[in-house]
Amino acid sequence: MDLSLLQERFQKEGLAIGLGTGGLPVVALRNEFGAVTVSLYGAHVLSYTTAAGEPVLWLSDKAVFERSKPIRGGVPVCWPWFGAHQQDSEKPAHGFARICEWELLDAHSGENAEGGWIELRLVDSQQTRALWPYPFELIYRVSLGRDGLRLTLRTQNKGAEAFSVTTALHSYFGLASIDAASVLGLEGVDYLDQLDDLSRKTQEGLVKFDREVDRIYVNAPSKTWIDGAISGRRIEIQSQGSRSTVVWNPWIDKAKRMSDFGDTEYKEMLCVETANAGPDAIVVSPDQAHELEVLLKLL
Ligand code: BG6
């Protein structure tokens, strides 16, 4: 990838293309609605701040920026499988999309009230077919407008056979403190407890945190909220094309086991992921496409 060609093509007021930490190429978009940075490595949204400068997402101080390793924080794209590969644990966790270099297709900073966007593409290659045998095209659009930050992942089947994917827009949100945080909107929804052999349970009341939580809420509603963002405000998470919501906080012991996660950072983050996971896999027929979308905003 030739950075100077990309700069020539897309760089203008409100849009900067350059090398970020670890020499990974990054696109930064700033407009009247806020600012967002996206790494072409993994199509990974690294940060999102509102027009008032309030950070919404969280990125670990220990995040590793190296090709072949996923980045801890922001919004990793988990695709074409969520979590560990079901048959082969040697394959990368959460699929390969987050550890591939994506192509920058288009970028606009937003000359009008509609805002701006960055569009990225990933297609199958020898490397992806060695892990997963299907031809595909992924188009990922990161739009920053009046409504907030909208992330749209389009999975197109380019082959002659149907395929099935599990996937997540694995958003890490920044919190003032996990002790005071709660997730609203999942009351009465069933979840698979990843810490209890995927046993099925029902959420009673708001989701609160005083230990490790790792749950796949199935048939989840399209709107959830987090109380207790860094700014003290409420975050709204509105999804489309998503049947599951994953809620994860590693708490103390798991935080200590992860080398790219600070020992006490669990206090300042929470993942609420827009997903199709567990039994909510999506089947995409030949020449068909599926769109997974989330709109994030501070209320
Ligand atoms: C969550 C999973 O989505 O991602 C957790 O539910 C997992 O089980 C977490 O630990 C982080 O995954 P990774 O591969 O980025 O360390």
Q: Give tens-digit pLDDT for 251-269.
A: 999 999 999 999 999 999 9
Residue nearest to atom 13 of ligand 1 (CA): 93
Q: Transcribe 237-258 into DSSP letters.
A: EEEES--EEEEEE-HHHHHHH-
Q: What percent of the chain has pLDDT over 90?
A: 97
pLDDT of residue 114: 75
Distance separating alpha carbons of residues 294 and 272, to the nearest angstrom: 11
Instruction: Calculate mean pLDDT across residues 207-230.
Output: 97
172 lines ligand 1 (CB under 6 A): no
Hey, which of 71, 170, 193, 260 would you mutate to test ligand 1's pocket, going by the most ligand atoms within 8 Å of its Cβ?
Answer: 170
pLDDT band at 160 (very low <50, low <70, confident <90, very high): very high
Q: How far is the CA of 240 from the centre of ligand 1 (A)?
A: 22
What is the structure's pLDDT at 1? 74
Give the model's confidence band at 2: pLDDT under 50 very low, under 70 low, under 90 confident, else very high. Answer: confident
| pLDDT of residue 210 exceeding 70 | yes
Whether the predicted pLDDT of 137 surpasses 80: yes
Please report the pLDDT score of residue 167 as a whole number: 98
The verdict on whether 170 is a catalytic residue reads yes
DSSP-derived letter for residue 162 is -
**Does the structure show a pLDDT above 80 at 113?**
no
> Which atom of ligand 1 is closest in space to residue 76's alpha carbon?
15
- Confirm whether 66 is a catalytic residue: no
Considering the candidates 94, 108, 170, 265, report the single residue annotated as catalytic. Answer: 170
Model confidence band, residue 110 (pLDDT cutoffs 50, 70, 90): confident
Percent over 70 (pLDDT), the chain: 99
Q: Residue 153, Cβ neighbours under 10 Å: how many?
A: 25
The pair phi, psi for residue 10, each rounded to 5°, is -115, -20
Rounded to whole angstroms, what are the CA distances from 50 to 3, 36, 84, 235, 293?
Answer: 27, 9, 34, 12, 19
Closest alpha carbon to 169 in 140, 130, 206: 140
Token output for 225? 């909220």
Name the residue with the closest Cα to ligand 1, atom 10: 250
In this predicted structure, what is the pLDDT of residue 100? 98
Ligand 1 centroid – CA 278 distance (Å): 13
Rounded average pLDDT over 169-198: 98
Considering only CA atoms, which of 151, 103, 94 is closest in space to residue 124?
Answer: 103
pLDDT exceeds cutoff 90 at 273 = yes
Residue whose structure tokens are 């997974």: 292
Q: What is the mean pLDDT of residues 5-18?
A: 95
The model's confidence at residue 171, banded by pLDDT at 50, 70 and 90, is very high
Ligand 1: residue of 171, 271, 276 to mutate (most ligand atoms within 8 A of CB) is: 271
Residue 44 Cβ contacting ligand 1 at under 6 Å: no
What is the whole-number distance in angstroms between the Cα of residue 83 and the centre of ligand 1? 6
Mean pLDDT score, 261-289: 97
237/150 Cα distance (integer angstroms): 10
